[in-house]
């Protein structure tokens, strides 16, 4: 028995991956507004027609980069399902570590900074990340908490929101805003507190 994650698209072809690598370099160097399909095509070493064969438009490319950087890692770890047969503490710890371990990827941190910097001019980009990562994470975790036969928790949506929101805020505060230089917070302490909060029984 399991809780389904959103099905991952098929693994990108070698050509699509080539385009995404080039697109990432252009987005990080020129910003969203300064990125054009011509520049991506030149950086990736493909024709503009080839890009449009794989991705609908610039936003489609940006969306694919979110999937490449973040969502692919969840599917590598879990496939398309959260296993109800595994201990809940273990499942939540694995979920948290997938997201927090993204900080070891300098490309992800640079992408996260770009997302924040461009969110004022292009709010749809921030909303795209929120929908793909936080909102989808909330949906999956809330469904998992409701479906697990050993758990008796209430307000599952709120618990899930706090879980994923806290992890994203931790990355922002510690790594993007350089908070780990001023007031470091060990990952393990944060994860332990979040798991205890999420799995605490419903009030009588």
In the predicted structure, residue 58 carries a pLDDT above the cut 70: yes
pLDDT band at 1; cut points 50, 70, 90? very low
In the predicted structure, residue 5 carries a pLDDT above the cut 70: no
In the predicted structure, residue 160 carries a pLDDT above the cut 70: yes
pLDDT score at 2: 54
Cβ contact 150:203 at 8 Å? no
In the predicted structure, residue 35 carries a pLDDT above the cut 90: yes
pLDDT score at 10: 46
Cβ contact 87:189 at 8 Å? no
pLDDT score at 76: 82
Dist. CA 197–CA 121, nearest whole Å: 36
pLDDT score at 79: 75
pLDDT tens per residue, range 97-130: 999 999 899 999 999 999 999 999 999 999 998 9
Neighbours of 32 (CB within 10 A): 18
- Among 194, 106, 91, residue whose Cα is nearest residue 141: 91
Q: What is the DSSP letter of 70?
A: I
- Among 105, 108, 155, 153, residue whose Cα is nearest residue 133: 108
Dist. CA 74–CA 94, nearest whole Å: 9
Cβ contact 101:18 at 8 Å? no
pTM for this predicted structure: 0.82
Dist. CA 81–CA 45, nearest whole Å: 36
pLDDT tens per residue, range 123-152: 999 999 899 888 888 999 999 999 998 999
pLDDT band at 70; cut points 50, 70, 90? confident
Collapsing DSSP states into helix, strand and coil, what is residue 74? helix
Cβ contact 40:23 at 8 Å? yes
């Amino acid at each position: 028995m399991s809780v389904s994650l959103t099905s991952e698209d098929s693994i990108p072809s070698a050509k699509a991956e080539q385009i995404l690598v080039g697109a990432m370099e252009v987005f990080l160097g020129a910003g969203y507004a300064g990125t054009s399909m011509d520049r991506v095509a030149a950086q990736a070493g493909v024709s503009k027609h080839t890009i449009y064969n794989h991705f609908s438009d610039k936003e489609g490319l940006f969306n694919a980069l979110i999937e490449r950087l973040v969502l692919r890692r969840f599917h590598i770890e879990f496939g398309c399902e959260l296993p109800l047969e595994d201990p809940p503490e273990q499942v939540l710890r694995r979920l948290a570590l997938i997201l927090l371990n993204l900080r070891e990827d300098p490309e992800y941190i640079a992408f996260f900074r770009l997302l924040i910097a461009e969110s004022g001019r292009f709010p749809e980009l921030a909303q795209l990340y929120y929908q793909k990562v936080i909102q989808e994470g909330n949906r999956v975790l809330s469904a998992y908490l409701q479906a697990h036969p050993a758990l008796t928790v209430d307000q599952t949506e709120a618990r899930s929101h706090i879980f994923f929101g806290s992890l994203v805020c931790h990355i922002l505060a510690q790594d993007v805003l350089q908070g780990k230089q001023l007031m470091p917070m060990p990952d393990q302490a944060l994860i332990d507190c979040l798991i205890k909060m999420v799995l605490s029984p419903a009030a009588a």
